[in-house]
Structure 1
Amino acid sequence: MKAAIFHGVGEPLSIEEVDIAAPGPREILIKTAAVGLCRSDLHFLDGAYPHPTPVILGHEASGVVEAVGDAVTAFAVGDHVVTFLAPFCGTCRLCTSGQHSLCQDSSTKRGKDEPPRLSLNGEALPQFLNISGFAEKMLVHENGAVKIDKKMPLDRAALLGCAVITGASAIFNEAKLIPGESVAIIGAGGIGLSAINAAKIAGAGTIIAIDPLPQKRKLALKMGATHVVDANLDGAIDAVMDICPGGVDYAIEAVGRPQTAEMAWNISRRGGIAIILGMIAPGQKLSINGPTLLSGKTLKGSLMGGAKFKTDMPRLAHFYLNGQLDLDNVIAERISLSKINEAFDTLRRSENARSVIIFE
């Protein structure tokens, strides 16, 4: 199969032929339909986060089941699915307490004595975030994918795999937002826009989008924001306080920088919650003014919004199909795999909400 290979920082991705194994007992083989370009991929591509190379990046994907392992019962050939980067075992302490996104049990991976899922020129390839989606096919554990309604367009379904599930789950699962409450979202990219849309669905009274780019602030208003603030303003925090005196009930950071995480803390009201979704690079630290800890605030880290994938993803697909969740405006362009390097250059400039690779 064809795949985009990452060989090292500073090098363009190259389209090469890769071998993919047949599914093991609890694995499903998926013909990739669409995959989104996420800023998380860019963190690895540009070296902010290390990863063994060569590797196939990509983790926000949808497709059609092509084959299943002999122990798989929840999927059949022809099912439409969305993958997710945090497959869960279902039996560990985290899973049994409902924290599926935090599971790290090795049973969802192949053992060292088993043939690799992916190989290049006879050499094993590491699987990126349990998916490696920039390829014509994907081989994943059955607890790393969710079956969705076939009415759901697969290009929009791909976004459910990372941006949408993360942003929406931050509202529904982490914040547990009550109708009428206030929320500020820092960063109006794919995750931030999804949080804005989810806040609208949840009935938030005030939804403030904070972003430096005017085109993204405009899109945020279309997605449900009631107010927008230019993140480049010296008085951006004061502007939020003018809208919500004392601060917001929930501040959601969807950028991945210490400064924006600190902003989330500072714009949260006394007793409020600052939820950090962005991937802050290794070695970077936050600075919090000590006395503000006496305000009863909570600083909460989050992986994928604390999603419960098997129930949350079908629900999000339903929200799209009944017109509540806007995924059409999030996709800025649909491209072929051959255009992946140009699309990442666009992402580096933060010009678009989402580029999606479409496989024929």
Structure 2
Amino acid sequence: MKAAVLTEAGKPLVIEDVVISKPGPHEVLIRTAACGLCHSDLHFIDGAYPHPLPAIPGHEAAGIVEAVGSEVRTVAVGDAVVSCLSAYCGHCEFCVSGRMSLCLGADTRRGPDEAPRITRPDGSTVGQMLNLSAFAEQMLIHEHACVRIDPDMPLDRAAVIGCAVTTGAGTIFNACKLTPGETVAVVGCGGVGLATINAAKIAGAGRIIAADPIKEKRDLAIKLGATDVIDAAADDAAGQIVEMTKGGVDHAIEAVGRPASGDLAVGSLKRGGTATILGMMPLDHKVGLSAMDMLSGKKLQGVLMGENRFPVDIPRLVDFYLRGMLDLDSIVAETIPLEQINDGFDKMKKGDAARSVIVFN
């Protein structure tokens, strides 16, 4: 099969022919239909986050089940599925306490004494990034890394639910537990930020303020449900949010992974408000509250993948789309073939568009 392989950090992905294994116990072979380009992938491609190489990135995907191994109970051949990097074992402390997104998923990978799932034709191992490696014509993954969805769902739209929408919507529904009428500021209007804004609208937020330095993304934010927009690069951005809300917001959500964005989120809070960090910050960066912030009852939390329970959350998000509540059409800026993947990441670096999605024949 063809796949986009990361051979060296900081270099373009290389389209190669690789060999995928047959499904073992609890494993599912999926014919990939579509995969979104996520900024998280770019962190690994650029080397900001380390990973053994060579490896195949890609984790925001949808496809059709082609084959299943023994013991598989959750999907069947022919099912339309969405994959999710929050692969769960089902029996660790985090899983049994309802925090599945924190599961390290050790049991969902092949062990060191087993044959690798992906190799080059010479037999050398190709790393499976984030338990998925979706920039490839096929995926071989654990059944607990995907979920069956409504077959009426367009798969190029379903793909972005696997990460961006699950993260953004999950943050609103699961982590923030937004109460209708509460005010929300979202810093960063990429795929995750736009999904957060759309979910805040669905949840009944009273006011949704989108902050981004790029006008085109602010315009998209309004289309997705923002009531107000500001330039996140303005010196008084936090002050603008505090002024327009007469004291600050109940929830400020950082959705881009930049230190200044974390500061803006914290600076936008009202007394008792909560700042939520979604973005992948530089590994040595710290976000904090001042003593006065804490005396004002402000809170700071980190959230991984929207605290999702994706076997339940993703089918619900699919239903939201099919009922016209979730606007994935505006989040997906373009569909491209695998051969244009590096161009897609170049566009991401410019930051003036939403999601690019690879579609496979």
Output the TM-score relative to the length of structure 2: 0.98
Instruction: For residues 234-276 of structure 1, give each alpha carbon's deviation from its aligned partner in whole angstroms, at most 9, with x where no partner exists.
Output: 1111110122111101011001122211221121111111110
Compute the RMSD of aligned alpha carbons.
0.9
Residue identity opposite 1:137 in structure 2: Q
Write the mapping of 1:56-75 to structure 2, written as runs, cut at 5 A: 56-75=56-75
Moved segments of 4+, more than 4 Å: none
1:291, CA displacement in angstroms? 2.3
Quote the Cα distance in structure 1 between the aligned partners of 2:284 and 2:205. Answer: 35
Equivalent position of 1:272 in the other structure? 273
Counterpart position of 1:234: 235
The secondary structure found in structure 2 opposite 1:139 is strand
Whether the 8 Å CA contact 2:187–2:252 is kept in 1: the answer is yes
Q: Which amino acid aligns with 1:219?
A: L
Aligned-pair identity (%):
56
CA distance, structure 2, for counterparts of residue 199 and residue 291 of structure 1: 28
Contact preservation (8 Å) 2:252, 2:274: yes
What is residue 31 of structure 1 aligned with on the other side?
A: 31
Corresponding position of 1:20: 20
Q: How many Å separate the matches in 1 of 2:166 and 2:258?
A: 21
- Aligned partners of 1:10 and 1:271: how far apart in 2? 42
Which amino acid in structure 1 is aligned with residue 27 of structure 2? E
SS of residue in 1 equivalent to 2:130:
helix
Query: For 2:2 and 2:12, how far apart are their aligned partners in 1?
Result: 16
Question: Is residue 43 of structure 1 aligned with residue 35 of structure 2?
Answer: no
Contact 2:242 2:268 in 1 (8 A): yes
| Residue pairs, 1:1-360, within 5 angstroms | 1-120=1-120, 121-360=122-361
Q: Distance in 2 between matches of 1:52 and 1:258?
A: 26
For structure 1, which runs of at least 5 residues remain unmatched after alignment?
none
How far, CA to CA, are the matches of 1:48 and 1:288 in structure 2?
Answer: 25
CA deviations over 1:152-184 (Å, ceiling 9, x no partner):
000000000000000000000011111111100
Gaps of 5+ in 2: none
Write the deviation string for residues 60-107 of structure 1: whole angstroms up to 9, x where unpaired: 000000000110011110000000012001111110111000001411
Give the secondary-structure state (helix, strand or coil) at the position aligned to 1:220. Answer: helix
2:226 counterpart letter in structure 1: A
Does the Cα contact within 8 Å between 2:288 and 2:300 map onto a contact in 1?
Answer: no
Preserved CA contact (<8 Å) 2:242 2:269: no
Separation of aligned partners in 1, 2:273 and 2:23: 46
Encode CA deviations 1:197-219: one digit per residue, 9 max, x unaligned. Answer: 00000010000000000000000
- Structure 1 residue 10, shift from structure 2 partner: 2.5
Letter in 1 for 2:74: A
Contact 1:259 1:286 survives alignment (8 Å):
no
